[in-house]
Chain A
Amino acid sequence: MENAFGIPQSVLAIGGASEIAVAVLKAMAGKGLERVVLAGRSRESLASAEAQIRDSGVADVETMEWDVADGRRQESLVDAAFVAGGEFDLVLLSAGVLGSTSAAEAEPNEAIAVMETNYVGPAVVSLAVSQRLKAQGHGVIVLLSSVAAVRPRRANYVYGSSKAGIDFFCRGLAESLAGTGVRIVVVRPGFVHTKMTAGMPEAPFSTTADDVAREVIRGLARKDAVIWTPSILRWVSLVMRHLPLWLWRKVQERES
């Protein structure tokens, strides 16, 4: 059961080797987290994540192979996870790829993996998971969306559109879950220093995975439906969304 602060006892993390996911799980360790299933596509990165989470004091950690890009397999993977693991209090959707906009512009098929990994897979997962959580009468789905979902940019619109899609989808699903005891929380980080952004020029308001974890934990206690990290992005994005197009272009030119 999650406690009054929204801290779960059991978590299924899909994309469980993500640096942000590991930071969130480590921050929950010692606060009541007892059992974690890390699901992901690569054994090596899962093994390292597993070790880190064990070191932080969670004894019961398992891993599971899970490729989120194959949309049609998601339902059976969700079934398998819940049959083996019983109940989950929180399901973390942290799998994601950044992809490359220029690669997709040159070779359109390059866009498919981004869309499948960031949108199609997680959308089917969240539908299947929400059925399970509804039957439990409780549970939280935490989606890692992005501030890139707020307004299209030429630099990352392929990624941004997939995040915008899954963000929109989950907020809609959340509406349909009202009254069921199941909640969906959408997290919108800005630039986070992880392996996903390694080597990229730092953007304004950049944070670390641990910063994101802290904000997630705070937001869970406050029962926020949307968590911005850092929290100032809530206001920055409001401005971003309403800038006239010419000015928005200027902002993007200055950034690149």
Chain B
Amino acid sequence: MQPEEAPATVLLAGWGRATRTAADLVEPLTASGVEAAISDSGLRGVVARGMGRSYGDAALNAGGTVISTLRLDSLSDGGVVAGAGVSLRRLLAHLIPRGTTLPVLPGTAEVSVGGAIAADVHGKNHHVDGAFSEYVESFRLATPGGMINVSREREPQLFNATVGGMGLTGAIVDATLKTEAISSPFVSMDTDRVGDLESLMTLMSEGDERYKFSVAWIDCFARAASLGRGVLQRANYASELPEATLARGESQFERGPRLAPPDLVPTGALRPIAVSAFNEFRYRRSPSREREKLEAFPAFFHPLDVVADWNRLYGRAGFVQYQFVVPYGAEDVVRRVLDEQVRSPSYLAVLKQMGPSSGGMLSFPIEGWTLALDFPVAYEGLGEMLDRFDQWVAEVGGRVYLAKDSRMSSGLVEAMYPRLSEWREVAGGVDPEGVFRSDLSRRLRIKE
């Protein structure tokens, strides 16, 4: 075993690379190492960090301590009890040969168990199966007052404050997860190319309930009559498959990223003109209608994972992801956002329906429509535009996803997250001095 090292001051960034701040990084090997890191933390507090896939400043703590969980990497009981730093990719590689999977998978498998719980992540099946926390039985939470065993039954309040709580109630050390039996690591996918937003949303509202998984990719460069045109991919787990196909599927999770942007590609190589052409190509290339195509899990769930560090393509200034959800009845906000962003079009956009909320007090999902958009930071006027979107979203009772945010101002958080005061009370109970904090919590005044 490697020895625990003294903390080193390092510069950390979120996946969007738009803000970078320095913190003392500690990488404990054990639960008691985590507790020691908490009690050794200074005036600027402490927060846990998994794989740094949150886009903004949730896993940063400028001038304070950041606990990397990546060496809390134990796996036992057939993968059901996992250290907080175990990646979903590693878990899948472990579970799939045993004929099971994780019921909720976000758009990348390069996410830690701790990060998945703290952001209460959602997958393409949220409309049917809910968020990650629904499949969390219990976890151990290191707090300034000591280690707490948390489950829905034993500590309902703390459970619901920690799932979706963005690491601000304590550090999860390990978790017991529920898994789901599958007959193969493949899905049977239906694809529909849809020429405009109206038709896309109609198709989704009418048919999504027949599918476990549903997500639409939207070409944000398309205007006017083609506004919101996209490709809808919906799927269910595939049943009975030949042995050879099965074997092929199982090996897929052993591999990491296969490609990386070559060093010669300048950072910031992505330019609107190129992205626009790519989107056109992607739209045209997609079948206009295809049924029951067999697709292996990685290609279906985590298509971007084959390229390592693709976030660097956005260049030095980085990028922001803007993901919001609005309740049913507020479809107009989705249309207005797409309409308005056309002047500085999003490079990547994903639309999906969400099911009812879980119990997480700060969990993002609410029943309705969620749209995620990626923009280079350097777009002129982007900040003002997103500030306007915040207003529209808040007005209809929607919210912005904290795990993606890096730019919102503090004023709207209480409106977007009406259970914030309840959350503050629970968080204050386990962490009365506010030792757990992050750049996100400072920027949005989450703990104040």
Which of A4, A30, A34, A138 contacts B377 (CB under 8 A)?
A4
Docked Cα-Cα span, A181 to B20, in Å, equals: 6
Q: With A136-B62, A137-B64 as given contacts, are A34 and B11 in contact (CB-CB < 8 Å)?
A: no
In angstroms, Cα B314 to Cα A221, docked, is 13
The answer on a CB contact under 8 Å between A1 and B442 is yes
Chain A positions 200 through 211: 1 when the CB is less than 8 Å from some CB of chain B, otherwise 0: 000000000000
Q: Are B62 and A181 in contact (CB under 8 A)?
A: yes
B287 touches A (CB below 8 Å): no
Say if the beta carbon of B172 comes within 8 Å of chain A: no
B384 and A135 contact, CB distance less than 8 A: no
A159 to B359, CA, bound (A): 63
Residue B63 CB within 8 A of the other chain: yes
Considering only CB atoms, which chain A residue lies closest to B57 in the complex?
Answer: A1
Closest chain B CB from A90 CB (angstroms): 13
Q: Decide: A1 and B407 in contact? CB cutoff 8 A.
A: no
Interface flag for A67 (CB, 8 Å): no
User: By the criterion CB–CB under 8 Å, are A31 and B317 in contact?
Assistant: no
Q: Say yes or no for B230: interface residue by CB 8 A criterion.
A: no
Residue-wise, chain B 349-380 has the 8 Å CB interface mask toward A (1 for contact) of: 00000000000000000000000000001101
CB <8 Å contact, A179 and B407: no
Interface residues of B in 11-56 (CB under 8 A from A): 11, 16, 18-23, 44, 56
> Is B410 positioned at the interface, with any CB of A under 8 Å from its CB?
yes
Indicate which residue in B16, B62, B377 contacts A221 across the interface (CB closer than 8 Å): B377
Chain A window 1-16, contacts with chain B (Cβ cutoff 8 Å), 1 for yes, 0 for no: 1111101010000000
What's the minimum C-beta distance from B42 to chain A, rounded to whole angstroms? 10
Interface status of B320 (Cβ within 8 A of chain A): yes
- Do B63 and A2 have beta carbons less than 8 Å apart? no
Contact with B along A85-107 (1 / 0, CB 8 A): 00000000000000000000000
Q: Flag whether B156 is at the interface (Cβ < 8 A).
A: no
User: Within the complex, what minimum Cβ distance (angstroms) separates A65 from chain B?
Assistant: 28
Chain A positions within 8 Å of B145 at CB level: none
Known contacts A137-B23, A138-B22, A180-B11: A4-B62 contact under CB 8 Å: no
A34 in contact with B316 (CB, 8 Å): no
The listed residue (A4, A30, A180) touching B19 by CB distance below 8 A is A4
**Pick from B11, B63, B318: contact of A4, CB under 8 Å:** B318
B406 at the interface (CB under 8 A from A): yes
Specify which of B9, B63, B378, B406 is in contact with A138 (CB 8 Å cutoff).
Answer: B63
B378 near A221 with CB under 8 A, answer: yes
**A172 contacts chain B at the CB level, 8 A cutoff:** no
Query: Which of A2, A4, A5, A179 has the most chain B CB within a 10 Å cutoff?
Result: A4
Which A34-78 residues have C-beta < 8 A from chain B? Answer: 34
Structural contact, B443 and A3, CB atoms closer than 8 A: yes
One of A4, A9, A218 near B406 (C-beta < 8 A): A4
Report whether over half of chain B's contact residues are helix, strand or loop; otherwise say mixed: loop
Q: Knowing A1-B57, A31-B387, A218-B380 are in contact, say whether A137-B443 is a contact too (CB < 8 A).
A: no
Partner of A34, one of B62, B317, B318, B410: B410
Query: Which of A1, A181, A223 contacts B22 (CB under 8 A)?
Result: A181
* Residue with the greatest number of chain B CB neighbours at <10 A, chosen from A2, A31, A218, A221: A221
Q: Flag whether A234 is at the interface (Cβ < 8 A).
A: no
Say yes or no for A222: interface residue by CB 8 A criterion.
Answer: yes
> In whole angstroms, what is the CA distance A173 to B367 when docked?
51
Tell me the complex Cα distance, A223–B19, Å: 10
* A138 adjacent to B316 (CB under 8 Å): no
| A1-B442, A138-B62 known; A181 vs B11 contact (CB < 8 Å) | yes
B407 touches A137 (CB 8 A): no
- Residues of chain A with a CB closer than 8 A to B320's CB: 4
Q: Does B183 contact A (CB under 8 A)?
A: no
Q: Which residues of B contact A223 (CB under 8 A)?
A: 316-318
Q: Given A4-B16, A5-B383, A138-B439, are A32 and B57 neighbors across the interface (CB < 8 Å)?
A: no
Tell me the bound Cα distance from A200 to B179 in angstroms: 76
Q: For residue B377, which residues in chain A have a CB less than 8 angstroms away from its CB?
A: 4-5, 221-222
Task: Answer whether A1 and B62 are a contact pair too, CB < 8 Å, given A31-B383, A137-B44, A221-B378.
Answer: yes
Q: A1-B439, A3-B443, A4-B406 are in contact. Are A181 and B21 (CB under 8 A)?
A: yes
A222 CA / B314 CA spacing, docked (Å): 11
Query: Which residue in chain A gives the minimum CB-CB distance to B12?
Result: A181
Interface residues of A in 128-186 (CB under 8 A from B): 134-138, 179-182
Binary contact readout B116-134 vs A (1 if CB under 8 angstroms, 0 otherwise): 0000000000000000000
Q: With an 8 A cutoff between CB atoms, is B238 at the interface?
A: no
- B409 beta carbon closer than 8 Å to chain A: yes
Say how far A80's CB is from chain B's closest CB, in angstroms: 19
Complex CA–CA separation, A4 to B54 (angstroms): 13
- Are A31 and B380 CB-contacts (below 8 A) given A1-B439, A9-B443, A179-B22? no
Which residue from A5, A7, A9, A137 sits with its C-beta under 8 Å from B62?
A: A137
Q: Tell me if B396 counts as interface (CB < 8 A to partner A).
A: no
User: With A137-B23, A181-B22, A181-B62 as given contacts, are A1 and B443 in contact (CB-CB < 8 Å)?
Assistant: yes
Residues of chain A within 8 A (CB-CB) of B442 are: 1
Q: Tell whether, in the assembled complex, residue B378 and residue A222 are in contact, meaning their CB atoms are under 8 Å apart.
A: yes
Residues of A within 8 A of B407 (CB): 3-5, 7, 32
Q: When each residue 102-135 of chain A gets 1 if its CB lies under 8 Å from chain B and 0 otherwise, what string results?
A: 0000000000000000000000000000000011
Chain B residues contacting A221 (CB-CB under 8 Å) are: 317, 377-378, 382-383
Return chain B residues, CB-CB under 8 Å to A30: 387
Q: Assuming A4-B377, A9-B443, what are 12 further A-B pairs, CB within 8 angstroms?
A: A3-B409, A3-B443, A4-B19, A4-B56, A4-B407, A137-B22, A137-B64, A138-B62, A179-B11, A181-B63, A222-B378, A223-B316
Q: List 10 A-B contacts (CB under 8 A).
A: A1-B19, A31-B383, A31-B387, A32-B409, A32-B410, A136-B44, A138-B63, A181-B63, A221-B382, A222-B316
Task: Identify the A interface with B (CB < 8 A).
Answer: 1-5, 7, 9, 30-32, 34, 134-138, 179-182, 218, 221-223
